[in-house]
Amino acid sequence: MTTEASSPADPKTALNGNRRSAVVTQGPNRAAARSYLRAAGMTDADFDKPMIAIVNTWSTITPCNMHLDRLANDVRAGIVAAGGWPVDFNTVMVTDGISMGTPGMKASLISREVIADSIELAVEGHQLDGVLCIVGCDKTIPAAAMALARMDIPGLVYYGGTIMPGVLPAIDGTTKEVSVQEVFEAIGAHGAGKLDDAGLKTVESAVCPGAGACGGQFTANTMAMALSVMGISPMGANDVPAVDPAKGAEGERCGRLIVERVFAGDNARKYITRASLKNAAVAVSASGGSTNAVMHLTAIAAEAGVDFGVEDCHQACVEAPVICDLKPGGRFLASHLYASGGTRLVTQRLAEAGKITDAPTVTGRSLFAEAAEAEEAPGQIVVTTMDAPVMERGSYAVIYGDVAPEGAVIKLTGHKVDVFEGPACVFDSEEDAFHAVQDGSVGEGDVIIIRYEGPKGGPGMREMLQVTAALKGRGINNVALLTDGRFSGASYGFVAGHVSPEAAVGGPIALVRDGDRIRIDVTNRRIDVDVDLATRRAGFSPRAMAPVHGVFAKYRASVASASQGAVTIPNPPPAQVPAAAKAHQEA
């Protein structure tokens, strides 16, 4: 009887690193499969090599991802040099910046799940030995980590890098470095009559000078740093800007590293642990990063089966002050951070202060060993010290109360407000709120509430940058905004998102009416309203959700609460979240 020449248990496959792909390439019964692979370029010498997926989120729709096809060339070279066989796949991406403020933004968060699913399908369908994900725009980064956590095979994430600053000419003949944040604020200034059409076009034409993801410590750069500190991205690789000549060498290094991880048998969950997730959350806090990181880190944890939730993210902000003076709340951009010492320098500061713990990374070296090699630029002012932080507290907080019994995430960078109280101005869509801001219907002292924009209600949990930036552009600063949707990493001010439960499932935010007095207390971690919500609930039913089809309907049917990462996998809520919510409800 003829048997397969080798199998995943065969010592030869262990030696060659092709533990998984051997079931496709080895033995007489796989002759048909090999015939296809020969047509795709493989030879006899290649069938014993580990097959490495290069999953690319390349697209020409946005500067965040438009250069990733070129980066893949360097990755392939590294894989081949290290003894692997590269196999390329593409997946989808949805750009937040272009879809912001439109119905298309509903697709953004949903794309995170679709990307993770498509990576899993391509890799598992071909039984590949390892996977390297090349990512750019916001949702592609956590999606890649989610897929690696789910499959638990050798893998790493390589970020395409930040965009460089735009240069805006000033009236006095000087120039100012700008990011996409400025154009969203310019829209608000234009709506208020403070900026004419020509001025708006000047800003529009300056802020995005070329390839790379949005330049501040917005969601993309926040998550790129988080994955580096988590250890699933090679330290230093994600920091290099998209157009920097050093990017090529980093791509080749990543290609070599993924093959090394395959030969070493280091699966993704070696790096995605409770300790590494906490390290990542601390880095988010210290860098003044995006509140979206709360949702993405808890989603990655859910995929890895790790008990890590919103309260862990909150605690990270309690422990780690902001030590990076980065936009949106600060002065500098990710390219300035790179020139100052990058993620290594931030990690070194955190390690020296005892804010993070040592852990393995995909470079094969420990996190602390990587941090020890930080090179601080002389005189740099982007990264401060723990003794003289930019902010004494972290960049966000998780709060509860009448309006958010399962929690909400409030941004703390860009303002010094601890308590805000004012009348509610309630809107059942982002568009209605934006138009009200632009026509002057809301203003100083108001608490703007945007609801029915949650994971199910949207569906897709849109970001509210169009609204927050319009407020800033119009010069309206004494205002609060609550939503069951999300906020862009470029948003700043007294804003709280991820309000859970969301309005569409009958959350208390659905019961609030215009004029209700809302009190937001950061210190006591509460959002309360001065009415009897229990009485109001009698006879109440949520507004009927707009009908949706296709992937939007699938998502609505399966998505979990924002407090659970808005994932679409079976995901029982962590025990800590209800306990924390109960404690703050009874306070």
Residues forming the active site: 488
> Helices (DSSP H) in 320-401: which residue ranges?
334-340, 342-352, 367-371
Closest CA to 341 of 370, 378, 376, 373: 376
Structure tokens at 239: 């920091």
Concatenating the DSSP letter of every residue in 406-434 gives TEEEEE-TT---SEEEEEEEEESSHHHHH
- The values of phi and psi at residue 68, to 5°, are -70, -25
Residues 6+ apart with CB under 8 A from 288: 217, 322, 324, 325, 326, 329, 330, 390, 391, 395, 413
Using CA atoms, how far apart are residues 331 and 558, in angstroms rounded to an integer?
A: 40
Residue in this structure with the two tokens 């025990």, named with its chain if needed: 575
Using CA atoms, how far apart are residues 223 and 211, in angstroms rounded to an integer?
A: 18
Beta strands in 404-534 (DSSP E): 407-411, 419-427, 447-450, 480-483, 494-500, 517-521, 526-529
Instruction: Quote the distance between the C-alpha of residue 502 and its chain's center.
Output: 21
Q: If DSSP codes are grouped into helix, strand and coil, which group holds residue 566?
A: coil
Using CA atoms, how far apart are residues 483 and 487, in angstroms rounded to an integer?
A: 9
Concatenating the DSSP letter of every residue in 241-264 gives -TT-TTHHHHHHHHHHHHHHHHHH
Using CA atoms, how far apart are residues 475 and 471, in angstroms rounded to an integer?
A: 6
Using CA atoms, how far apart are residues 478 and 444, in angstroms rounded to an integer?
A: 5
Please state whether beta strands 85-90 and 155-159 pair in parallel, antiparallel, or not at all (unpaired). Answer: unpaired
Using CA atoms, how far apart are residues 315 and 312, in angstroms rounded to an integer?
A: 5
Give Cα separations from 403 to 191, 295, 502, 528, 533 (angstroms): 31, 19, 10, 6, 9
* First-residue to last-residue Cα distance in the chain: 73
- The values of phi and psi at residue 518, to 5°, are -105, 135
- The values of phi and psi at residue 165, to 5°, are -65, 145
Give Cα separations from 356 to 160, 375, 397, 455 (angstroms): 26, 19, 19, 32
Residue in this structure with the two tokens 């060339």, named with its chain if needed: 73
Q: Are 544 and 557 in contact (CB under 8 A)?
A: no
Residue in this structure with the two tokens 């972290």, named with its chain if needed: 394
H/E element, 438: helix 430-438
- The values of phi and psi at residue 383, to 5°, are -105, 120
